[in-house]
Amino acid sequence: MSESSLIIDCDPGVDDGVALLLAFASPELDILGVTTVAGNVSAALTARNARVIRHIARRPDVPVLAGCQRPLVRPPVEAGHFHGETGLGDLSLDPVADDGECRHAVDFLVSTLMERPAGTIDVVVTGPFTNLAMAMVREPEIIARVRRVVVMGGARREGGNITASAEYNIFADPHAAQIVFGSGAAIVVHGLDATHQVRATEARIAAIEALDGASARACATLLRFSRRIEAEQVRGLDAPLHDPCPIAWLLAPELFETVPCEIQVETASPLTLGHTAVEFRLADPAAATIHWVTAADGQGVFDLITERLAT
């Protein structure tokens, strides 16, 4: 178990919601803030959804900061078909008070990384990379100050999930992803090759449904929704659980295997826009700053979520 201060940058999103519930239930994570971005649903909805999850988890101590309202260059592309109209599937959304927080997510990323000691903050990204890319452009010094960037995004062996070539978070803002992957920051990447190994089987959801408490109930509702949508739209396989993987890696890195790599993002071809070219053939693997997750222990990740939501 590792101690970590972190900022979670996300676009809730059903699986972002599960990631937040896992993080909020993990006392060893010092969550400095949750920043949100336009992605699965609009920027207004992702910020609202993060506040809803924070309310369920009873973590009013964590600020939620709304961020960029559209990708850097390309037009927005949402994924409501996988997350429902609200972005949180079938979860009933009790009204949450507007807490008056008006700092912008990009300002928060820059000021927090500049004010805290260098090398002490991890940034987890589970949505399009727009906020972090903007922060890196605005203040390049944050690149050397961030401890690790831990992202969900990209695909190599598995191919794409929004097009044949591209995974959604990268497709939604490929120019931002190229800035982040080209930055030189230390990055751990949970692409579809990893997250497709972490699937919400009937038995794994039932184990969470058997728990008491608002966070466990919300988690089970989100997972049931994903399972139903996956069955309707993809057919044949249990729903993959993407966004909790980076949080699980922070909590239990032994559940994952990584390989050093370099990553370039396709930003020019309309056919393969957002494709991640993940190169393992490196002249000096020890000097690599990016690590690609090749294997994930799906049962281990679900056991971790279940254990955390039980307490």
Q: Residue from 4, 6, 7, 15 that binds ligand BDR (CB under 6 A)?
A: 15
Catalytic residue among 83, 196, 242, 291: 242
**Least CB distance from residue 173 to Ca ion, whole Å?**
12
173 forms part of the interface with Ca ion (CB under 5 A): no
Nearest CA-CA partner of 32 in 69, 56, 5: 5
**Quick one: what does residue 161 bind among Ca ion, ligand BDR, none, with the CB cut-off 5 to 8 Å set by partner type?**
ligand BDR
DSSP string, the chain: ---EEEEEEE---HHHHHHHHHHHT-TTEEEEEEEE-SSSS-HHHHHHHHHHHHHHTT-TTS-EEE--SS-SSSPP---HHHH-SSSSTT--------------HHHHHHHHHHHSPTT-EEEEE-S-SHHHHHHHHH-TTHHHHEEEEEEE---STT--SSSSS--HHHHH-HHHHHHHHTS---EEEE-HHHHTTSEE-HHHHHHHHTS-SHHHHHHHHHHHHHHHHHHHHT-SSPEE--THHHHHHHH-GGGEEEEEEEEEE--S-TTTTT-EEEE---S-GGG--EEEEEEE-HHHHHHHHHHHHT-
**Quick one: what does residue 173 bind among ligand BDR, Ca ion, none, with the CB cut-off 5 to 8 Å set by partner type?**
none
Beta carbon nearer to Ca ion, 168 or 181 = 168
What's the CA dihedral at 10, 11, 14, 16 to 10 degrees? 0
Cα separation, 275 vs 131, whole angstroms: 20
Q: Residue from 25, 49, 125, 167 that binds ligand BDR (CB under 6 A)?
A: 167
Measured over the CA atoms of residue 140, residue 143, residue 149 and residue 153, the dihedral's sign is positive
**Least CB distance from residue 83 to ligand BDR, whole Å?**
6
**Quick one: what does residue 230 bind among ligand BDR, Ca ion, none, with the CB cut-off 5 to 8 Å set by partner type?**
none
**Least CB distance from residue 130 to ligand BDR, whole Å?**
13
196 forms part of the interface with ligand BDR (CB under 6 A): no
> Which range binds ligand BDR by CB under 6 A, 42-50, 161-169, 216-224, 231-239?
161-169
Q: Residue from 16, 122, 167, 230 that binds Ca ion (CB under 5 A)?
A: 16
**Least CB distance from residue 296 to ligand BDR, whole Å?**
14
> Which range binds ligand BDR by CB under 6 A, 26-34, 42-50, 142-150, 166-174?
166-174
Residues 230-249 that bind ligand BDR (CB under 6 A): 242-243
**Least CB distance from residue 154 to ligand BDR, whole Å?**
9
Contact pattern from residue 109 through residue 138 relative to Ca ion, giving x for each residue in contact according to CB under 5 A and a dash for the rest: -----------------xx-----------
Based on the residue annotation, tell me whether 242 is a catalytic residue of this protein.
Answer: yes
Binding site for Ca ion (CB under 5 A): 11, 13, 16, 126-127, 243
Residues annotated catalytic, as ranges: 242
Binding site for ligand BDR (CB under 6 A): 13, 15-16, 40, 79, 82, 126, 152, 161, 167-169, 242-243
